[in-house]
A and B are shown apart, each in its own frame.
Chain A
Amino acid sequence: MNIIPLFIAIPLGVAFVLALMGKAKEIACDLVANGATFCLTVLSLVLLALIKDNQVLVYIMGKWLPPKGINLVLDGLSILMLIVVNTIAFFATLYSVSYMKRFTAKHRFYSLFMLMLAGMNGVVLTGDFFNLFVFLEIASIASYALVAFGVEAEELEASFKYMVMGSVASILILFSVGLLYGLTGSLNMADIGSIIQGKKNLLLSFSLVLFLAGFGLKAAIIPFHAWLPDAHPSAPAPISAMLSGVLIKALGVYTITRVFFNVFGMTLQLSWTLMILGVISMIGGGLLAIRQSDFKRLLAYSSISQIGYIMIGLGCGNYWGLLGALFHLFNHASFKALLFLNSGAVEYSTGTRKLKEMGGLSKVMPVTGTTSTIGSLSISGIPPFNGFWSKLFIIIGLVQAGHFVLTVLTILVSVLTLAYYLRVQRYAFFGTLKEKWAQIKEVPTPMCISMIVLAIICIGTGILFYPLMKAVFEPAVTVLQEGTKYSALILGG
């Protein structure tokens, strides 16, 4: 039980220790940071083995009982998010051992990275609204600093845009938390859930809309997406992988899910809202991605599109829809992180991100080329990779609920995804090798290891999805389907 606060305490402690270690050798900082993320990954898998049978663990901080005290809640959905966040963080820190050699002040990079990780772990674990806001802010501020890490002009502009929109989102969320406190007198999620059940109040709907706007801005759903195509390409590659693969899901999708399913309760209007927003994001992201000529910008628009898929699955609400959405969350984290790490490897070797300038790179960079092909096929939904299963489940869920127009649109956007990823592969990796790229070598070993292991996860999850489904995703779906009974589980036990 005492493992649970370690997910917040270890990254925070390591962040401040790394800030003190400015004069130490570089290899010491690398070892400390990678050791910490490896520890967290192992701990999250240990937690998965420890809890069984849809058990909900409630950790009470400082022995002050809820609803007055703050509690940390570990249920199926939190375990899924913890595994995703910590695993991708470990691969990102492993990758940045060699990628960040070009930047100075690597210990500051790791320190900010650990703060962002602590914030994300806190958001996923907490059971209290104001605590959620504080951890959300910690993670957001650390990510604003990380986007602007190499201080070029374009990175600063992107970070400024991201900061302004992120601050507006946080203020909206705080407004909504305050409104909920004024209406119910408590800040605990389970307590609020039990008080507002069945009540219809104009202020409650207003609070819900503010939450949708605030968390939707963090999750980059269209119409709140304008910061993402600038911020994700400008960040260094391991940070892009973390931002696109994990941060928008832990801060955006997870919080929307937790607040809408467990606290407010899903209604028909809410499901339709999520589905419409999902469809618009999916189509908009896909169409805007086709005409991009910058590798990372295309990947950023593709992220918007895939988050749209997750929203449609969540809005659908039946078993297959929810299972598909959560599985797609896991899958998207792994293959989008892999693709961003690939683009970072290409940038490390060739120094460019423009697709028209690359060509035939898989002859000189075999690892990057192969893993990139695996990632592109996974995200397009080709069997037997993992993207196929998650998109299939979402489509099954939509058909079962009777939304045939949405099903056709989903399948069309899936074909569109395949189209633009094949275009990327043709321009960047296949085709004739330009003379100026004939001398470049493959990237150093830590970067290769991260990419290879992520590619193995993509293939492995695709083949072994059935045991994974039973162990990890079913408890998460059960949590969402129980909905507002969450509050009785927390307060009762």
Chain B
Amino acid sequence: MSPLKQKEKGMTNIVKIVAKFVSPPIVLFGIYMVLHGHLTPGGGFPGGVIVASAFILLILAFGREMASQKLKLSTASTLESIGALIFLSLALIGIAAGGWFFFNFLPKGEPLRILSAGFIPLANIGIGLKVSGGIFAVFVTLIMFRITTGKGGR
């Protein structure tokens, strides 16, 4: 096969198979980190980055064309906006429920359980969605530039 054709199809078979196996556990680990943000270090930001990095791994392994059919930029953008709106609506519901912006309106259970600390797990989910969608969208936008600078195939 000519080297040009091989470059367009992504990396070698070993990398593709391993990436297919490994990326669901990475997403699971990212979700674990997001949900346990009030108990262990982490929270929305690092968890979201880890989830995004699982999808970035898939793009790196399979090449741009195959990945652009499954993992679209518009889904990531929509997820990002929905995450931000979840966070903002939690803050605004605080006004309706308790009278203050960002008021912690859900019951705070016993500490060190997963369902404690009011709305913080929900806020972490919102932030996790936003960060993962955002970082993935940034990555896809940056690599899409390579198509347009077609002069000499850089």
Contacts and interface: CB of A to CB of B under 8 A. Distances in A.
Given A60-B100, A63-B100, A63-B103, A20 B81 contact: yes
Interface in A1-41: 2, 5, 9, 12-13, 16-17, 19-20, 22
Interface string A103-142: 0000000000000000000000000000000000000000
B28 interface: no
Contacts of B88: 9, 12-13, 16
Interface string B74-110: 0001101110110010011011001111111000000
Contact of B85 (A5, A16, A59): A16
Nearest to A5: B101
A358 B106 CA distance: 64
Contacts of B103: 62-63
Given A5-B95, A9-B92, A13-B88, A62 B81 contact: no
Contact of A62 (B78, B84, B102): B102
B91 A9 contact: yes
A2 B99 CA distance: 8
Contacts of B99: 2
Contact of A16 (B81, B101, B102, B104): B81
A9 B88 CA distance: 7
Q: Which secondary structure characterizes the binding site on chain B? A: helix
A61 interface: yes
Interface residues of A, number: 15
Interface residues of B, number: 19
A63 B108 CA distance: 15
A12 B99 CA distance: 20
A62 B92 contact: no
A62 B77 contact: no
Contacts of B102: 61-62
A121 to B, nearest CB: 13
Given A16-B88, A62-B94, A9 B101 contact: yes
B91 A19 contact: no
Contact of A20 (B78, B95, B98): B78
Nearest to A72: B101
A63 B91 CA distance: 12
B91 A17 contact: no
Q: Point out which of B84, B94, B99 has the most chain A C-beta atoms below 10 A from its C-beta.
A: B84
B97 to A, nearest CB: 11
Given A62-B100, A62-B103, A2 B95 contact: yes
Q: Which 8 A-B pairs give the minimum distances between C-beta atoms?
A: A5-B101, A62-B102, A16-B81, A16-B84, A20-B81, A19-B81, A61-B102, A63-B100
Interface of B: 77-78, 80-82, 84-85, 88, 91-92, 94-95, 98-104
29 contacts: A2-B99, A5-B91, A9-B91, A9-B101, A12-B84, A12-B88, A13-B88, A16-B84, A16-B85, A16-B88, A17-B85, A19-B77, A19-B81, A20-B78, A20-B81, A20-B82, A22-B77, A59-B100, A59-B101, A60-B100, A61-B100, A61-B102, A62-B101, A62-B102, A62-B103, A63-B98, A63-B100, A63-B103, A63-B104
